[in-house]
Amino acid sequence: MKTLNLVFLGPPGAGKGTQAERISKRLGLKRITPGDILRKEVGKGTRLGKEVEEYMKRGELVPDEMVLEIIGAELKRVGQGFILDGFPRTVAQAKGLDKILESRRWPLHAVIFLDVSDDEIVRRLGARRICLRCGAVYNMITSPPRNNETCDRCGAHLVRRRDDEPETIRKRLQVYTQETAPLIDYYEKKGLLVRIDGARPSDLVTYSVEKALEELSGKIRKGGHRNP
Ligand code: AP5
């Protein structure tokens, strides 16, 4: 399969991280996740970490300039063949990404939009647990660890993410509707949006994403993919 440059878009808890991890491994793509990068900075207590911590705790977006700087640097480091997992999240970020890609003459091949209802998101995020040591993600209902609250991969104690408290989840959904949902239209108009029903079990979602990407690769090979 030809190397792909992709964006994974969707509300908080839609499964962007779960799917981006699987697809990046299967297709050999590099995954760029601003949420993880920012959480690491907070954990290390760097100047950037201190600046972004309050936004994240409140469930608000970090300012566009900061995120664009991080993504610009990451794209330069990893090159083509990437999944942007959780970026862009505002129209300003999407326009910033367009500029970065244009300046390098890199195409964006598709935006995978994982469509999930608010009720399902509240259920999922309330049950999510993460491993701070190795980054593994679990769900106490749909994909629990073998031993209660202990990571299967590295044995560390699992924790709830700080922004997965009910009040903060509601705030994140509100921010998503106001700031990020307009990107569905933005990318639909560019002919890049691939809508996937993200409410189904994870393996079925992965299957649909892979199928869509195979079709896309076929079109690219035949020269039928329009890059706006
Ligand atoms: P970020 O870490 O990106 O959080 P998010 O977008 O809110 O997404 P999540 O990580 O919560 O969910 P996900 O879609 O990856 O779902 P997951 O696979 O984990 O961002 C956090 C914060 O950082 C933001 O609030 C903001 O402050 C800042 N930030 C990040 N990017 C930014 C940007 N571009 N601009 C500005 N600020 C930014 O799955 C969720 C749960 O559901 C898990 O438990 C999983 O096991 C389970 N699950 C997954 N798929 C399924 C399925 N199909 N069925 C059942 N359960 C499932």
Q: Domain with 78 in it: what CATH number?
A: 3.40.50.300
**Ligand 1 centroid to residue 18 C-alpha, Å:** 9
The domain in which residue 190 lies consists of: 5-117+179-222
- Please give the pLDDT value at position 228: 55
**Ligand 1 centroid to residue 11 C-alpha, Å:** 7
170 within a domain of the structure (yes/no): no
Model confidence band, residue 221 (pLDDT cutoffs 50, 70, 90): confident
User: Would the CA dihedral through 164, 171, 19, 106 be positive or negative?
Assistant: negative
Bridge partners of residue 150, in order along the sequence: 147, 157
Give the pLDDT mean for 205-227. Answer: 87
Rounded to the nearest integer, the mean pLDDT of the chain is 95
Nearest to 111 by CA among 27, 20, 14, 187: 187
Q: Confirm whether 89 is a catalytic residue.
A: yes
Q: Confirm whether 160 is a catalytic residue.
A: no
23 within a domain of the structure (yes/no): yes
How many residues belong to the chain? 228
- Please give the pLDDT value at position 223: 76
**Digit-coded pLDDT (tens) for 63-84:** 999 999 999 999 999 999 999 9
Of the candidates 16, 31, 124, 129, the residue annotated as catalytic is 16
Mutate to test the pocket of ligand 1, among 32, 55, 62 (most ligand atoms within 8 A of CB): 62
- Please give the pLDDT value at position 109: 97
**Digit-coded pLDDT (tens) for 124-152:** 999 999 999 999 999 999 999 999 899 99
Mutate to test the pocket of ligand 1, among 139, 177, 178 (most ligand atoms within 8 A of CB): 139
Is residue 225 predicted with pLDDT exceeding 90?
no
218 within a domain of the structure (yes/no): yes
- Residue 16 corresponds to which tokens in the numbers above? 């962007």
Per DSSP, the residues of 84-148 read: EES---SHHHHHHHHHHHHHHTPPP-EEEEEE--HHHHHHHHHHEEE-TTT--EEETTTB--SBT
Q: State the pTM of this model.
A: 0.94
16 within a domain of the structure (yes/no): yes
Model confidence band, residue 222 (pLDDT cutoffs 50, 70, 90): confident
Distances (CA, A) of 228 to 51, 169, 192: 35, 34, 8
Q: How many domains does the chain have?
A: 1
161 within a domain of the structure (yes/no): no
Is residue 226 predicted with pLDDT exceeding 80?
no
- Please give the pLDDT value at position 59: 95
141 within a domain of the structure (yes/no): no
9 within a domain of the structure (yes/no): yes
97 within a domain of the structure (yes/no): yes
